[in-house]
Structure 1
Amino acid sequence: MIRATHFIDHVHDAADTITLDETARHRRRLKMQSDSGISFLLDLPEARLLRHGEGLVLEDGRVIEVQAEPEPLYEVRARDEKHLLQLAWQLGNRHLPAQITADSIRIRADHVIKAMLIGLGAKVAEINAPFDPEGGAYGQADNTHDHSHGHHAHSHD
């Protein structure tokens, strides 16, 4: 089976696309199939979040462009910048993956978190959009993420 062993940041002439939600885009090694049926083995050196618009380079030189599939999200807005930072702190304290924009935070839909945010004065809109969360703080400058928590200890009081 043909392999994809590396990626490129921008694609100019893709042979095909592969459309995946955020969870399915966080991979290292997996048999995959492009939207038009090209089968390949993703075989990266380490797990990473494949970003919308990146290209997976196949051994034969073809490039498969990664497309972020829209998924149910909440778009969280605040009354001002300080309030948005306070909401971001609350979400970060719960270790929730979040996509930060200039004036909003996008998170996965979760009715318990929605109730908390509304209780804190946030405006929460249900949207269907690609999810591209921020990367982690522990050696993940390329915006990959890791859900292990063995690297630090703290209280959730």
Structure 2
Amino acid sequence: MKMIVGNSVKRRGEWADAADTITLEESARHRRRMAMVTDGGIAFLLDLPEATLLRDGDAILLDDGQIVEVKAKPEPLYEVRGQDAAHLVALAWQIGNRHLSAQVFGDRLLIRRDPVIRDMLQGLGAAVAEVEAAFDPEGGAYGSHLHGAGDNH
């Protein structure tokens, strides 16, 4: 029996009618080649030309014609809020200066939980709350797929 292969990705909005979903934490969504199983049990080999960050709402195209929608699995995060927009930008700078992944919204940031970073941010006047949410951080200047704060997550 031939193994099903997923060898291309379509970005959110570029596809329709998924046969199934695959729900992954952020760290499992940056892949090139890996055996995977969808939420409904379809086993396939992800085999992309280069490592790709799969974002929530993207789709993997399987060589048998099926489409698998990528879902971001909720994970433990901190929601960081500033006192105003300028304060939030300064907090984002502090996070970026430490090379930490962050998801950027107009009124808040999401980062991975780290008590040392939480304490630092609170010391800088941030409101920090523990949340469980899908994590889809910025790709960075050298990422394969950038998105802006205006994206609807």
TM-score w.r.t. the length of structure 2 is: 0.90
How far apart, CA to CA, are the structure 1 residues paired with 2:48 and 2:140? 19
Q: Which residue matches 2:7? A: 5
Q: How far does the alpha carbon of each residue in 1:36-66 deviate from its partner, in whole angstroms, 9 at most, with x for none? A: 1100000111112101111100001100100
Please list every run of 5 or more consecutive structure 1 residues that lacks an aligned counterpart in the other structure. 145-157
Q: Which residue matches 2:28? A: 24
Conserved? CA contact 1:75–1:125, under 8 Å = yes
Asked whether 1:35 is paired with 2:39, we answer: yes
Conserved? CA contact 1:49–1:143, under 8 Å = no
- Aligned Cα root-mean-square deviation (Å): 1.2
Please list every run of 5 or more consecutive structure 2 residues that lacks an aligned counterpart in the other structure. 148-153
Q: How does 1:15-94 map to 2 (within 5 A)?
A: 15-94=19-98
Q: Indicate the SS of the match to 1:23.
A: helix
* Displacement after TM superposition at 1:143 (Å): 3.3
1:75 aligned partner, one-letter code: E
Identity %: 59
1:3 aligned partner, one-letter code: V
How far apart, CA to CA, are the structure 2 residues paired with 1:141 and 1:46? 10
Q: Which residue matches 2:140? A: 136
TM-score w.r.t. the length of structure 1 is: 0.88
Task: Find 1:117's aligned residue among 104, 116, 121.
Answer: 121
How far apart, CA to CA, are the structure 2 residues paired with 1:96 and 1:76? 13
How far apart, CA to CA, are the structure 2 residues paired with 1:142 and 1:25? 13
Which piece of structure 1 moves more, 58-67 or 10-19? 10-19
Q: Which residue matches 1:147? A: none
How far apart, CA to CA, are the structure 1 residues paired with 2:81 and 2:30? 27
How far apart, CA to CA, are the structure 1 residues paired with 2:133 and 2:85? 23
Between the two proteins, the alignment pairs up a number of residues equal to 143
User: Structure 1 stretches (4+) deviating beyond 6 angstroms?
Assistant: none
How far apart, CA to CA, are the structure 2 residues paired with 1:101 and 1:122? 15
How far apart, CA to CA, are the structure 1 residues paired with 2:145 and 2:139? 7
